[in-house]
Structure formats: structure tokens, C-alpha cells
A and B are shown apart, each in its own frame.
Chain A
Amino acid sequence: MKGLLRKELSGLWSLYKKSLPMVAVLYAVLNLVTRNDFFLYFGVWVMLFYSLSGMSLDESCGWGRYARTLPVNDWQVVGAKFLVSLIYSGGAVLYGAALGVIQRLITGEQGYADLVGGLLAVLVVSMVMVFLMYPMAFRFGLEKARNGFLVVWVALFGGFMLFGSRLEEWAPLEDVIQSMVLHPFPWAGGALLTAIAVMALCYVSSVQIYSKKEF
């Protein structure tokens, strides 16, 4: 497992060693200049999607075929990918939190709860998106999985644009939003648990898909 993790991390670092520091600096500067936490949140999303690129590296060099000849099982091969996504997202959340705190210390602004809530929300959404993509990427390849996911998101976004105004007036949703405002921590905890459950389900289904795959 240690070797698989090293392989994932070295591959991604070798791919992004030039762009990653630039992105990190750029988002830090933008956050400080605009005083907008959006760039910190966006960083979490970007990092999680960066971590998916390990799949395309494998596809490009035939790693899957070679991995089958190594004394490692399918749970470990797939697990290394999920673990790297967690490491990347964890790093991005810590980096975002540190930048957010620095920005608040410099400007004297408050809103630490907003920062934590925002990072948590984007972490949950990004985790769900990325971990849902893994089984699809193992089944159809990363490119098709990305395209498929894009179609789903465009459809969801389009639906929201069309019917969003009706949703705003929908009483049950108003109640939910109200409850979220009044009890943020149970909601945040629940969302995080949901993301972890999605991750676990996606992990199991990815292993099942991967174990049936032929290279």
C-alpha cells in the first residue's frame, strides 16, 4: 500500500509540480486582494479534481495491466486512489483555512464560522462529486466519466435555472434552510457523514468494477 500511495503521489506531483504552486499562490493573492473566500473554496474543489488525474496517468501508461501482476489486491490499488483524493482534499482544506485566518487577521474581519462552514460545504460537495466519478472512471475511463458528469451537472444547473424560483417558494425547502441556519453543526456533521458514506459506497463499487476489468 505504501508503494501504491507513493506511485499516486509521485505521478500527480510530477504532473502538477509546476501548476500547483502557481495555483496556490494565485488563490492566496486573490483571496487577500478581494477578501473573498470563494478562492479558498474553489481551491478545495480544484485539488480534488486534480487528484482524479491519477486515473488518466494510469490509462496513458498501461499501469492497470502491470498492477495485476504485482502482489497487491484490488482493494489496495483502488484504495490508494481514494486515499490520495482524501490527502489532497485535506491539504486543500488546511491551506484554505490557514489563508482564511491570515486574511482575517490582516483585515481584522470576523466570520470564522463562515470560513469553516464554507470549507466544509465545498469539501462535502467536492467529495461527493469526485468519489461518484471514480466508479464511472474505472468503468468507462476518466475522459468519458468527466464528460458524463459534466452533462449531469449542466442538466442539474439548467433545471435549477428553470425551476429555481419555484423552489424558493416551496415551504419544506424554506423550513430546511431555516433549520440549517439555526442548527448549523448537526447539519454540517450530517453532510460530512453523508459524504463519507458516499465515499465508502463508491469505494466498494469501484473495487467491484476494477476487479472485473481486463487490461
Chain B
Amino acid sequence: MSDLIAVQGLVKRYSGFTLDRVDLTVPEGEIVGLIGENGAGKTTTIKAVLGVIRPDGGSIRVMGKDPKDRAALEKVGVVFEDSYFYGGLNAHQVDRILSGIRRDWDSDKFQRDCRAFGLDMKKPIKDFSRGMRMKLSLSTAMASHPRLLVMDEATSGLDPVVRGEILDIFLTFIQDEGCGILLSSHITTDLERVADQIAYIHQGRLLFQRNKDELLEETAVVRGSASMLDRLPKDLVLVRRDGGLGGSAALVKDGAAARRLLPDAVVDRTSIDEMMQLYGGRDEA
């Protein structure tokens, strides 16, 4: 199984923010969820992967090619947070435009998908709701039969019904051999539902990229007094937060080991949301 995206040591510097040596992979057949707080570096990472911005360091390969080589992007479908066609255009015009740009554009598929999504082909994009615009973007991304979908906050701002529809499409897409998805979102429940791996970016650094099931199975939150948590070995603790309303809490790599060490402590399974809160809180403490 090869990697559709392979990022090594990616560095991008802006004034006041640095994306610092990020390593990230998207293997074939998997959905990688990229999580992080607002401004953590998710969009910057995605832009670098797509060749929209020039990295200051590191290497990026998209299906084995440098994304600066636009041919590398022939088999990549992209969905950004909002529509990128002028609002006065309609889906029919988008179809005609992209059929003249993408060699493998499948007009029939695009129109079929638009119909399935209930999109009026003649209605100006500016009159679409946000959900409809996202569906149009997704139809656009899928119509050239991509092997890789890259989506930046594709489900944010959508109601649960539309989000569910879109997540189902991702799960269907990934059934095809050799396909993969990189999906950035801060709606972590979506990722818990569809992602195979979770990559967490925090303040410009990738804290981890791990198999989601293993992550949620093994990682746990230990709650108790600060003195109790002091008894946990340092290499077991990923992050610790002291002095909150519920006392102290520590995110640990191995919940079972923590239970053995601290039989009196409360050891809970964790969620991605809670992990983010604990990591986020680390900097406030």
C-alpha cells in the first residue's frame, strides 16, 4: 500500500505563525482526519500539499510527484471551505468550464451527482445555501474520478443531515481501490465516524498521526488530585491539566496501565474533542 500524500518536515513561516516540521501521510484506502484548533495550521498544511503556497522547507509528494507539477493534481479532487466560482455562474456553466480544463472530466457524472444532491443546474451559485454550495463543490471534486480527495473544513457550518450525506459519500468513495481522503475539520464527531487515522496539529506542530481506533481504545483521561496524578510515570502522560473545575486531568497513552497504577483514580475513555481540549488547555495553564 503506497502513500497518496507523503509530507516530510514541512515548514512554512509567516509573521506570527510557523508550521514547524510537519510529517503527514495519507495511505491508499484510508481517510486521514486532520484536526486542530482554529489557526493551528490545518489549512496551511493543505495549501502546501496542493501547491497553493510554497513551503519554506521539507518535501511534499502527491501520488509520488511534486505538487508544483500541476499534472500531479490531475487525479486530485479539492473542496475548500466555500465555493470558488463567481456567484453569478450556475452549475451548468461550472460543468462547461471544468470540462474544458480537466481532461478526465465526466460531465454525466457531474450532472448525475448534482441531480442526486437536488441542485438546480440553472440556479446562480449565489442563490445556493451553504450546504448546496458544498454539495456543488463536492460534485465538482468527484467528477474527474479522483484518486485523492483533499478537503478543508468541508463539513463545517452544515446541518447534521447534510453532513451525514457527505460523510456517506466519503465512505463510498473510499471503497474504490487506491483512493484516499485527507479531511480537515474541527467537527471531531465527523472524523470519529469516518476517519481511519487522526493527525493532530497544534500551534503549527503535528502532535501525532495515529490509527483512530487504536487512539480511542488506548488513550484515556485520568482524573484525580494533582498529587495523585504525580504518581503517573512521565512517559505515560501525553498532556496534563491542573486546577480545572473537576480537579486535575491527564491524558495518558495507555488507559489500562494507568488503571493498574492508580486503582483509585477515575480513568475514562476519551474522545477527540476531549483530547483537543486537554492539549489546548496545556498552553493556558
A residues with CB within 8 A of B: 1-7, 10-11, 14-15, 57-58, 60-63, 65-66, 68-73, 214-215
List of A residues within 8 angstroms of B97 by Cβ: 3-4, 6-7, 10
Does B86 lie within 8 Å of A63, measured CB to CB? yes
Does B47 lie within 8 Å of A65, measured CB to CB? yes
Q: List 14 A-B contacts (CB under 8 A).
A: A2-B101, A11-B86, A11-B89, A14-B88, A14-B89, A61-B85, A63-B84, A65-B47, A65-B52, A68-B50, A69-B73, A71-B71, A71-B73, A214-B53
Does B101 lie within 8 Å of A70, measured CB to CB? yes
A60 and B101 in contact (CB under 8 A), knowing A65-B47, A69-B50, A69-B78?
A: no
Does B88 lie within 8 Å of A66, measured CB to CB? no
Does A11 lie within 8 Å of B88, measured CB to CB? yes
Q: Is the interface of B mostly helix, strand, loop or mixed?
A: loop
Closest to A16 in B: B88
14 extra interchain contacts, Cβ-Cβ under 8 A, other than A7-B85, A11-B86, A73-B70? Answer: A2-B100, A6-B93, A10-B93, A10-B96, A11-B88, A14-B86, A15-B88, A63-B86, A66-B80, A66-B84, A68-B52, A70-B102, A71-B101, A71-B102
Does B73 lie within 8 Å of A70, measured CB to CB? yes
Closest to A212 in B: B54
Give the complex CA separation of A107 and B71 in angstroms: 59
Total A-B residue pairs with C-beta atoms closer than 8 Å?
87
Task: Verify if B99 is at the interface (C-beta below 8 Å from A).
Answer: yes
Does B96 lie within 8 Å of A215, measured CB to CB? no
Q: How large is the interface on B (under 10, 10 to 19, 20 to 34, 35 or more residues)?
A: 20 to 34
Give the complex CA separation of A72 and B51 in angstroms: 12
Chain B, residues 45-60, CB within 8 Å of chain A (1/0): the string is 0010011111000000
Between A4, A6, A69, A71, the greatest number of chain B beta carbons within 10 A of the residue's beta carbon is seen for A69
Q: Is the interface of A mostly helix, strand, loop or mixed?
A: helix
Give the complex CA separation of A72 and B100 in angstroms: 11
Between B87, B88, B99, B102, the greatest number of chain A beta carbons within 10 A of the residue's beta carbon is seen for B88
- Whole-angstrom distance between the Cβ of B248 and the nearest chain A Cβ: 43
List of A residues within 8 angstroms of B47 by Cβ: 65, 214-215
A214 and B52 in contact (CB under 8 A), knowing A6-B97, A71-B103?
A: yes
- Whole-angstrom distance between the Cβ of B126 and the nearest chain A Cβ: 10
Give the complex CA separation of A70 and B98 in angstroms: 9
Chain B, residues 247-282, CB within 8 Å of chain A (1/0): the string is 000000000000000000000000000000000000
Give the complex CA separation of A15 and B84 in angstroms: 16
